[in-house]
């Protein structure tokens, strides 16, 4: 049998959880590290599948990595060699596209397979390509592989027509190696992007960030540094939602309160009790919650990565709630499975409409992407009886030690079956 999570739900969960380093920061920092052509030490890197995939891609570039599989990753790129990147990991991972930008900074030629990642509907990379061409790189496709060649170089301003996390980071990485000034307008400003900027500045990059504008001025050689990845606000938000539905008391440690403001605001309006510290939060579940209409937006708006888990909490509110998913409107893989588990969710135009229900019920269902998968875990922890949740490989892309963390607060959860990749 393929790997599944076996969950016996219906119990309160109380205690403390530790949040790991941000997935979306780590996957960019690990690639950005090669710009130093030196030794970089990253700490607070959580052991998730995406990190293991990136390490194996780095090894193809003759970059040595040492990872203690807990939190410290050492990346030695002193002997980096440019090579075509087209292994399975490149196609599995979304963040493999950061090798495009990073290799373009180091070399005049780069060959990188088209990125993979969770199926959230259409995920184009036209904005990345627009930036690369403004930076003087031509590209063509050899089947599924993007081949980039440097043609020219001049001072440039890139106006991104849409806010994109990936395009902002990728174009920034490609800009570091340029010999002329680059301005990027309408950038995404997620905390993970600020983390990447801080990291590059520590290495010696000359970057100015004002609002949604980045200016990158040519600098000398970069150097290796030690950098601690920021806490994962999406993992924290997931446990905030878990606490809201299941915990008389849940202390969530190792967070940055400033990065959670948008999530705290939404949960507070619903009626969740939240006590705040700078690096921790205490959640206390309440008996009655008020329905809300939420719009998902780029940061500082409510994150799309928590849209799916939020539907579980909104199912516990009285009356009808809605979520407008403006970033990935097709991010809906959880809806049918949650309905099988007793939810009352329907899609109307561009809205996810959620009618409050009394509780969830146990079921055998499959997660089809990372955040969809975790929303099924939350529902299974609420519903009385034994649930089996498939699609564990997706959940492992973003959550480390999930079973241990949930067991640690009293949850009845274990992994059964064979690991499947």
Which residues are identified as catalytic?
A: 118
* Interaction mask 181-200, ligand UD1, x per CB under 6 A: -------x------------
* Residue placing its CB nearer to ligand UD1 in the complex, 25 or 247: 25
Count CB neighbours of 217 within 10 A: 14
Q: Kindly state the smallest distance separating residue 97's Cβ from ligand UD1, in Å.
A: 8
* Residue placing its CB nearer to ligand UD1 in the complex, 240 or 341: 240
Q: Kindly state the smallest distance separating residue 403's Cβ from ligand UD1, in Å.
A: 22
Distance CA 412, CA 414 (A): 7
Cβ neighbors of 185 (< 8 A, separation 6 or more) are: 157, 158, 159, 160, 212, 213
Please pick, from the candidates 77, 304, 321, 333, the single residue that binds ligand UD1 as defined by CB under 6 A. Answer: 304
Residue among 192, 197, 220, 219 nearest 210 (CA): 197
Tell me if the bond preceding 160 is cis, omega within 30° of 0. Answer: no
* Residue placing its CB nearer to ligand UD1 in the complex, 150 or 297: 297
* Residue placing its CB nearer to ligand UD1 in the complex, 24 or 387: 24
Please pick, from the candidates 105, 164, 247, 400, the single residue that binds ligand UD1 as defined by CB under 6 A. Answer: 164
Half-sphere exposure of 108 (CA within 13 A, CB side): 5
User: What's the CA dihedral at 30, 32, 33, 36 to 10 degrees?
Assistant: 170
Q: Is 95 among the residues that bind ligand UD1 (CB under 6 A)?
A: yes
CB 74 within 8 A of CB 224: no
Q: Cα Rg for the chain, rounded, in angstroms?
A: 22
Q: Is 135 among the residues that bind ligand UD1 (CB under 6 A)?
A: no
Q: How would you classify the pairing of strands 137-142 and 145-150?
A: antiparallel
Structure tokens at 179: 């010999």
Q: Is 30 among the residues that bind ligand UD1 (CB under 6 A)?
A: no
Q: Kindly state the smallest distance separating residue 145's Cβ from ligand UD1, in Å.
A: 18
Binding footprint of ligand UD1, residue count (CB under 6 A)? 21
Q: Is 166 among the residues that bind ligand UD1 (CB under 6 A)?
A: yes
Q: Is 162 among the residues that bind ligand UD1 (CB under 6 A)?
A: yes
* Residue placing its CB nearer to ligand UD1 in the complex, 76 or 190: 190
3-state secondary structure of 344: strand
Structure tokens at 13: 């969960």
DSSP category for residue 420? -
Q: Is 24 among the residues that bind ligand UD1 (CB under 6 A)?
A: yes
Instruction: Find tokens 């806010």 and name the residue.
Output: 163
CB 240 within 8 A of CB 285: no
Distance CA 11, CA 312 (A): 16
328-347 residues near ligand UD1, rule: CB under 6 A: 328
Please pick, from the candidates 17, 19, 22, 127, the single residue that binds ligand UD1 as defined by CB under 6 A. Answer: 127
* Residue placing its CB nearer to ligand UD1 in the complex, 111 or 305: 305
* Residue placing its CB nearer to ligand UD1 in the complex, 175 or 387: 175
Q: Is 21 among the residues that bind ligand UD1 (CB under 6 A)?
A: no
Q: Kindly state the smallest distance separating residue 371's Cβ from ligand UD1, in Å.
A: 8
32-91 residues near ligand UD1, rule: CB under 6 A: none
Q: Is 375 among the residues that bind ligand UD1 (CB under 6 A)?
A: no
Please pick, from the candidates 59, 88, 126, 265, the single residue that binds ligand UD1 as defined by CB under 6 A. Answer: 126
Q: Is 236 among the residues that bind ligand UD1 (CB under 6 A)?
A: no
Q: Is 327 among the residues that bind ligand UD1 (CB under 6 A)?
A: yes
Distance CA 136, CA 150 (A): 6
Alpha helices in 177-232 (DSSP H): 191-202
Instruction: Find tokens 């990872």 and name the residue.
Output: 67
- Give backbone dihedrals phi and psi of 281, rounded to 5 degrees, phi first: -140, 145
Q: Is 165 among the residues that bind ligand UD1 (CB under 6 A)?
A: yes
CB 165 within 8 A of CB 188: yes
| Contacting positions for ligand UD1 (CB under 6 A) | 24, 27, 94-95, 122-128, 162, 164-167, 188, 304-305, 327-328
């Amino acid at each position: 049998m393929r790997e599944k999570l076996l969950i016996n739900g219906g119990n309160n969960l109380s205690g403390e959880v530790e949040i790991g380093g941000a997935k979306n920061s780590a996957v960019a920092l690990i690639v950005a590290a090669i710009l130093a052509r030196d030794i970089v030490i990253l700490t607070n890197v959580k052991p998730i599948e995406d990190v293991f995939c990136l390490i194996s891609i780095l090894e193809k570039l003759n970059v040595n990595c040492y990872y203690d599989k807990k939190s410290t990753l050492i990346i030695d790129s002193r002997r980096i060699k440019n090579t075509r990147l087209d292994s399975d990991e490149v196609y599995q991972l979304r963040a493999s596209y950061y090798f495009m930008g990073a290799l373009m900074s180091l070399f005049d030629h780069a060959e990188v397979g088209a990125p993979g990642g969770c199926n959230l509907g259409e995920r184009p990379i036209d904005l990345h390509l627009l930036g690369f061409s403004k930076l003087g790189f031509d590209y063509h496709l050899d089947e599924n592989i993007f081949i980039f060649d440097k043609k020219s170089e001049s001072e440039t301003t890139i106006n991104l027509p849409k806010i994109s996390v990936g395009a902002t980071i990728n174009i920034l990485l490609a800009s570091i190696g340029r010999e002329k000034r680059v301005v990027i307008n309408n950038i995404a400003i997620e905390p993970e992007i600020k983390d990447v900027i801080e990291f590059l500045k520590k290495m010696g990059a000359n970057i100015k960030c004002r609002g949604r504008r980045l200016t990158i001025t040519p600098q000398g050689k970069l150097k290796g540094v030690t950098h601690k990845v920021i806490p994962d606000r999406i993992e924290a938000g997931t446990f905030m939602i878990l606490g809201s539905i299941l915990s008389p008391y849940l202390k969530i440690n190792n967070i940055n309160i400033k990065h959670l403001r948008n999530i705290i605001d939404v949960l507070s309006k619903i009626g969740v009790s939240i006590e705040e510290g700078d690096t921790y939060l205490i959640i206390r579940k309440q008996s009655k919650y008020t329905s809300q209409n939420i719009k998902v937006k780029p940061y500082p708006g409510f994150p799309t990565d928590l849209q799916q888990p939020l539907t579980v909490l909104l199912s516990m509110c009285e009356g009808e709630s809605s979520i407008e998913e403006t970033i990935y409107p097709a991010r809906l893989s959880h809806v049918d499975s949650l309905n099988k588990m007793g939810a009352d969710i329907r899609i109307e135009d561009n809205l996810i409409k959620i009618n409050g229900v009394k509780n969830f019920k146990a079921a055998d269902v499959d997660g089809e992407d990372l955040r969809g998968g975790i929303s099924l875990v939350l529902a299974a922890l609420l519903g009385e009886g034994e649930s089996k949740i498939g699609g564990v490989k997706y959940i492992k892309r973003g959550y480390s030690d999930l079973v241990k963390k949930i067991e640690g607060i009293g949850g009845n959860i274990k992994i059964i079956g064979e690991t499947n990749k």
